[in-house]
Structure 1
Amino acid sequence: MSTLSARGKGFANAGKIREQYEEIWANVYDVNTNPSGTINLGTAENYVMLNAVTAYINDHINFKGTDVNYGEGPWGSLRLRKAFAKHMDKYFKPHRPVASDDILASTGCTSICEMLGFSLFEPGEGLLLSRPIYQAFQEDFGLLKCIFVPSKGIDQFSMDAIKCYQEAIKESEAKGIKVRAILLCNPHNPLGRCYEPDALVEYMKLCQKYEIHLIVDEIYALSVYKIPGNSNSGPLPFKSILSFDTAQYIDKEYLHVLYGFSKDLASGGLRLGCIWTQNSSLVDSLSAQAFFNQPSNLCETIGISILENDDWLDKFVATSQKRLAECSMVARSLLDEYGIGYNRGASAGFFLRIDLRQFMMKDVDSITWDHERAFQLLLKKHKVYVTDGEGLSSEVPGFFRLCYVKHEAEVRLGLERLHEALSEAGTTGMAEELDEVRMT
């Protein structure tokens, strides 16, 4: 007899999340202390800028007594919200200045997504997501019906993809599922591309037509880079949804933008993010829930100092973008050397989507999710981790997300191990691993 509620049992049975994390982090690679450990090429983190952030904190932060009291409220101090607004004004080029009253701070975008789920949706109502998409959105909005919209060969960052979402809305409602929102990740995780400006306008119009919310996650806004050798007709630059005169296309009650420190500011451990919204009722709802997701005053102090230091931040962003480009070129060169396909149009984020189908089976159309799961077991054996396509809600198996923003020697060794696993898969057909997968 379980001692848990039905809801508690649902969480307990959702998957061995803690076990999966510990498998990676309990034996993580270190060139000096654990060279035989697992190389993590699956976590999207800006490792090459961590030391810059750490050095800044050590040099600039002196905590005071007020930094360890209760603070001004769980929605973020006025100074923090003003700092976020100033940051968005500078880098996002909004059509109208961002007001601090339209900002609510929290312990990262994950917490904000959960609160949005409670505030905007009834259990079982639908949230439209692209596929592939960042795997944690399914967990963040766990009580909802996540509906993954297939692109059907259409460029999902173009205006042509709008019809796929319109079809998904109609099909969902025919099944009795009320679609309440569309969530866009711009720049996109895991595809590393930005949406066409005209497409963003059409998404706003679509949401207005059906009176549904548009949630735009812009957490990779400044994690963009130029690919050497690309002409002016290369990948689209990032354009924030805030840079439009949105009132022309969508009621302010339906538009919400997420941002945080985890990616652009290489501070995933700081646990600090925010939402911009002009929906006053939503602000009230989120403020009530914020008591469960209040950022530490110590984290706020660090965040405020970083956001208010214009000179340092300008140099940091420029250095980060330069290093992202360099890391990307190292990864692309190695993938080319090993004959591994990837999305060459990526120009944002810390990852490339790689195509391993030809190595897993000659007849790529016959690859199943069991083959992908079996290959993950093989990668585990070879001590390297990349994000599987199934977790990213890919349309077909065999695609993985490679996170390459690490020091070059570690990326080289990680891809060498990946190549060894691919060679073994080609030799053995992963027979042993497939048996293990099918027995579980």
Structure 2
Amino acid sequence: MAVSGVLTRVLFKILLMGLGYEIFAAAVMAWNSVQQNGSLKKLNSVGKPVLSGRGANFVEDLRKPSDFGYNASLYDKLSNPEGIIKLATAENSLLNTELLEYFNTHFRLTASHLKYRSSLVDGHENSTEDILPPYYTTYFKPRVPIRPEHCVHADGIGSLLAQIFWTFCEAGDGVLMSTPYYDSYPRDIVYPAQAKVVPAYVPADVDSLSKESIPYLRKELENSANKIRVIMLCNPHNPLANAYPEEMMIEYAKLAQEFNVHLLVDEVYGLQVFSSRYVPNPTPFKSILSIELPFSIDLSRIHVVLGPTKDFGSSGLKLGSLISQNNPDLLTSVRRAVQAVPTSSATDALFTAVLGDVEFREWFLEENRNRLRVAFEKVGDWCTFHKLPFVPASAGVFFIVDLEPVLPHAGTPYERAVKGFEQMRDMGVYLVPTSISEDPVGTRYRMTFTLPPETMSLALRRIEKAFGLERWPGLADVD
């Protein structure tokens, strides 16, 4: 009985403890509910979380409707033959087959490629850090050989430009470019530096690559409401697709010295100058690093961005370089900033192989120029047949064509160009006017001519259909 009594008392205490726990738990839940409701009321009274003013303005700009949108998926001969063909993107497919064959037989990864960038670069494997300086020295012929300490490499020129402008510019400072200019430069000028594009408007009857354009640059340097920190140009020019004469590069350098600004030159198309029936003797490309500049010019203000991916028709393999041989502070800033966006190890392995193979790269670069000639002569002949004015190209993968003779006649030049864009888009071709590049001729377009030949022929056929043009006999039998 004694044992039974003890057990009874223990069980009774356990029961009380259980009831107490349930009561306690219910009380806690009630208290939490009160607190939560109060917190929700506080949250509701505070409002939604917000972006910074800078971020909100950026998003607002990105959400502005574009006159040049499209919803169709891209063309593929087998999987999507009715898809849209993009002639507005500077991609070169003329040697894709040969390059893929080389990459697929020479691609080699090691354990070092699986590690962080620093482990690859500081290790015992060759990398683009080793290959690129002598490659640039060989082909761009600088006065002073390019050494690793002169360079910063990243996942493309755009990433480098964004950090260069951030390093040079306070918010609201200006970057001066003559018109027309590459339409994606503003993206890298504005974000993240919050700098401003300052166009030097060159009239349509003045050659932007000639000395006659210098007064328009000078005017902006003297009168711009934004403090100009950088003059930028692309040599060979994008979108005019020709190289600057050497004397013009010297004039730009003199201007930068006179107004105490930096001169930044994009030389990404430097190895793609070609001759053709339309330009039998093209202006040769000369890197700003190879030119004997006047002694009065401070070389710490001269900088170049460039890279091998355009030369090898592989824009999707992101690799670009900044070269500044006399400004270590710029290199220190940009090098630190681009650590978050390094070249991928796969891209590094591919280009270490192809650039290190002197025989293959020599053949490839020469063959690329040959195929550029053939491809451009084809589109030049097409334009001539249809009596469409165009700027003969001698560098790069695109050219400027004026569709004014076939555009709808009502409205301003811009409105006519938009209508023309819509007609081509509806027929399956994406081609945008160079008015987005501040082109003074509002009815011109930048057309890429380096698609696979059969695809290029199909795109030209579709343009003929869009405007009701006669079929040019020189195209392949495609529809």
Q: TM-score, normalised by structure 1?
A: 0.88
Aligned twin of 1:279:
327
Aligned twin of 1:429:
none
Q: Is there any run of 5+ residues in structure 2 with no aligned partner, and where? A: 1-47, 470-479
Aligned twin of 1:374:
419
Aligned twin of 1:212:
261
Aligned counterpart in structure 1 of residue 277 of structure 2, from 228, 238, 260: 228
2:67/2:418 contact within 8 Å kept: no
Query: Which amino acid is 1:44 matched to?
Result: A
Q: Is 1:155–2:229 an aligned residue pair?
A: no
Q: Is there any run of 5+ residues in structure 1 with no aligned partner, and where? A: 425-440
CA–CA distance in structure 1, aligned partners of residues 433 and 459 of structure 2: 16
CA–CA distance in structure 1, aligned partners of residues 297 and 276 of structure 2: 34
CA–CA distance in structure 2, aligned partners of residues 359 and 249 of structure 1: 51
Q: Is 1:146–2:197 an aligned residue pair?
A: yes
CA–CA distance in structure 2, aligned partners of residues 389 and 354 of structure 1: 10
2:142/2:290 contact within 8 Å kept: yes
Aligned twin of 1:431:
none
2:113/2:120 contact within 8 Å kept: no
- Structure 1 residue 14: Cα displacement: 2.3
Equivalences for residues 37-436 of structure 1 within 5 A = 37-72=83-118, 79-142=127-190, 143-152=194-203, 153-172=205-224, 175=225, 177-228=226-277, 230-231=279-280, 234-246=281-293, 248-277=295-324, 278-344=326-392, 346-362=393-409, 367-423=412-468
- Give secondary structure in 1 for the equivalent of 2:468: helix
CA–CA distance in structure 2, aligned partners of residues 86 and 335 of structure 1: 41
The two structures, once aligned, show a CA RMSD in angstroms of 2.4
- Structure 1 residue 50: Cα displacement: 2.2
**Higher RCO (Cα < 8 Å, 6 or more apart):** 1
1:74/1:291 contact within 8 Å kept: no
2:155/2:341 contact within 8 Å kept: yes
Query: Which amino acid is 2:140 matched to?
Result: F
- Give secondary structure in 1 for the equivalent of 2:321: strand
- Structure 1 residue 418: Cα displacement: 1.5
Post-superposition Cα deviations, 1:235-289, rounded to whole Å, max 9, x if no partner, equal: 2111111111346252122111011133112121111110001211111111220
1:75–1:389 distance in 2 versus 1, CA, 3 Å: farther
Post-superposition Cα deviations, 1:346-392, rounded to whole Å, max 9, x if no partner, equal: 200111101012222558xx634233223222222111011322222
Q: TM-score, normalised by structure 2?
A: 0.81
1:76/1:106 contact within 8 Å kept: no
Post-superposition Cα deviations, 1:404-428, rounded to whole Å, max 9, x if no partner, equal: 101222212211222222339xxxx
More displaced 10-residue stretch of structure 1: 149-158 or 201-210: 149-158
1:188–1:66 distance in 2 versus 1, CA, 3 Å: same
1:389/1:401 contact within 8 Å kept: yes
Q: How many residues align?
A: 415
Identity of aligned residues (%): 26
1:207–1:230 distance in 2 versus 1, CA, 3 Å: closer
Query: Which amino acid is 1:376 matched to?
Result: F
CA–CA distance in structure 2, aligned partners of residues 74 and 160 of structure 1: 49
CA–CA distance in structure 2, aligned partners of residues 129 and 351 of structure 1: 20
CA–CA distance in structure 2, aligned partners of residues 259 and 117 of structure 1: 16
Which is greater in Rg?
2
CA–CA distance in structure 1, aligned partners of residues 343 and 122 of structure 2: 7
Q: Which stretches of structure 1, 4 residues or longer, exceed 6 Å deviation after superposition? A: 17-22, 73-78
- Structure 1 residue 98: Cα displacement: 1.1
CA–CA distance in structure 2, aligned partners of residues 112 and 20 of structure 1: 29
Query: Which amino acid is 2:250 matched to?
Result: V
CA–CA distance in structure 1, aligned partners of residues 232 and 122 of structure 2: 24
1:18–1:303 distance in 2 versus 1, CA, 3 Å: farther
Post-superposition Cα deviations, 1:300-354, rounded to whole Å, max 9, x if no partner, equal: 222222221111100000110000001001111111122211102x200111101
CA–CA distance in structure 2, aligned partners of residues 52 and 196 of structure 1: 33
- Structure 1 residue 22: Cα displacement: 8.8
